[in-house]
Amino acid sequence: MNLLNNELLDSFIQIQKALYSLMKEDADRAGLTVVQLKALYKIRLTPELGLRELAGSLKLTNSTMSGVVDRLVVHELLERHTSSADRRAITLKLTKKGEEKLREATGSDSSFTKKIIELTDMPQEDKDHLLRIHHQVLNVLTTKEENQE
């Protein structure tokens, strides 16, 4: 069997591409990149989020995330604030314009939202089975062998 031409691997790749395509469609409609859309969404979910935490949650480097945040600030979608707990730390907050842009991307016209709602309508037993298998796959892919460091 050709390991890189595996039906299971192909299935995960196709799902990832389909999800990205739906997010890109929504982001494009709102005049954003997918990363900008994800950043606005994460910040809305977690008020007072810091740059480092945002970068970690999106699996990006601090440097890359800083550039994304800079562009969102320039477009007046995001504001930086000094943290009340630590004056050296910066927290991020959506502006009204950022909230509107996020609503535009994720509202009732959102292809991604519509498809996710369809998925949540699957029978609970199917969702449980799928999640159990995904956890098994993720465990296999992320567990290091004893002789590897």
Task: Tell me the per-residue pLDDT of 93-149, one tens digit each, with 9 for 90 and over.
Answer: 999 999 999 999 999 889 999 999 999 999 999 999 999 999 998 999 899 876 555
Task: Tell me the per-residue pLDDT of 35-71, one tens digit each, with 9 for 90 and over.
Answer: 999 999 999 999 889 999 999 999 999 999 999 999 9
Instruction: Provide the pLDDT for residue 90.
Output: 85
Task: Tell me the per-residue pLDDT of 67-82, one tens digit each, with 9 for 90 and over.
Answer: 999 999 999 999 998 8
Nearest Cα to 67, choosing from 86, 51, 83?
A: 51
For strand 90-94 and strand 78-82, is the pairing parallel, antiparallel, or unpaired? antiparallel
Q: What are phi and psi of 90, to 5 degrees?
A: -110, 135
CB 77 within 8 A of CB 101: yes
**Could you write out the DSSP letters of every residue in 69-121?**
HHHHHHTTSEEEEE-SS-TT-EEEEE-HHHHHHHHHHHSTT-HHHHHHHHHHT
* Helical H segments across 31-61, by residue range: 34-45, 51-57
Q: What is the pTM of this model?
A: 0.82
- Structural domains of the chain ordered from first start: 3-107 (1.10.10.10)
pLDDT above 70: percentage of residues in the chain: 94
